[in-house]
Amino acid sequence: MKFRDKLLKLTEGKTRSVIADAAKLKPGILNNFFNRDNSEPMASTALKLSRALEVPLDWLVDDEAGWPPPKPREPQDVPYSLLIGELARRCHIDVLEVLSAFDALDKQDFRKVLEFANKFKPGDTVPDEFAEGISAVIAAAERGLSPRRYDIDAVAVSLHDSLPGKDRERGTVTMGACRQKYAEALNRPGFRDLAEWMDRHYDVLAAAGLRPMGNIVGFFEMGAGFDPRPTIIPPPHTTARDGERTGKLPPAEKRKPRAKDRESKPG
């Protein structure tokens, strides 16, 4: 059952302006969902509507889920792996639609389509090439907001007043704000020198019960968004020189040969 059809049934006998007010949406935004058959809401908008209409969000946006809506469930803690996995799955579906739209758009010669457009008059026969070009542009434009539905920071800003941390200023409880904090710390005088000292004196800190970790600067750089690669941090290694934990393997020329290596050497 489509999103629009669910809205129509859920709002039977209700005033749309009251629903829009309860969902903290402009009436025009709500009316778009009623007037356009294939319109889909952003994640933040769907969440507001699900709360105002008192139905589960996943049911409201799932076209495969039929009528009636399921009974409200008790709040539960969803494991992070399931939550992020489902978010990634939905994001991939939307992104594939965007990429498909651009596959069609990339085949268009905009200058040629524009030539048709400048000559086109009401009542003229529409050439296939012209129709395909216009349709391709519209299809790509319609999907322009799809990736934004998965912009966690944009959703967090939109729902700020209903989320933990609402006592802080809107826009400051975001992943972007976290990245900024890490970047600022990296640029503070003395920070890198202190972090390198902590790396060199891993065992000293461990003996003092301070729960040390290796590669402090690397973790801060990832926090600042400097390294987009998957986070795979090896355990700290002990150098052959003085037993200090550095988080890095010592240079090859400083490593002690293993017994197996010594046995394999001729002579």
pLDDT tier for residue 244 given thresholds of 50, 70 and 90: very low
For residue 238, the cross-strand partners are 245
CA distance 248 to 200: 10
Q: Give the integer Cα–Cα distance in Å for 118 and 4.
A: 37
pLDDT at 238: 40
Residues in the chain, overall count: 267
Q: pTM of the predicted model, to two decimals?
A: 0.48
pLDDT digits (tens, 9 = 90+) for 112-167: 888 888 888 888 888 888 888 888 888 888 777 677 778 888 888 888 888 888 89
Per-residue pLDDT of 9-55, as tens digits, reads: 888 877 778 888 888 888 788 787 777 766 777 777 888 888 888 88
- What does the angle CA 190 – CA 193 – CA 199 come to, to the nearest 5 degrees? 140
In order of start, what are the domains of the chain with their CATH numbers? 3-61 (1.10.260.40), 80-158 (no CATH), 175-252 (no CATH)
| Contact status, residue 48 vs residue 25, Cβ threshold 8 Å | yes
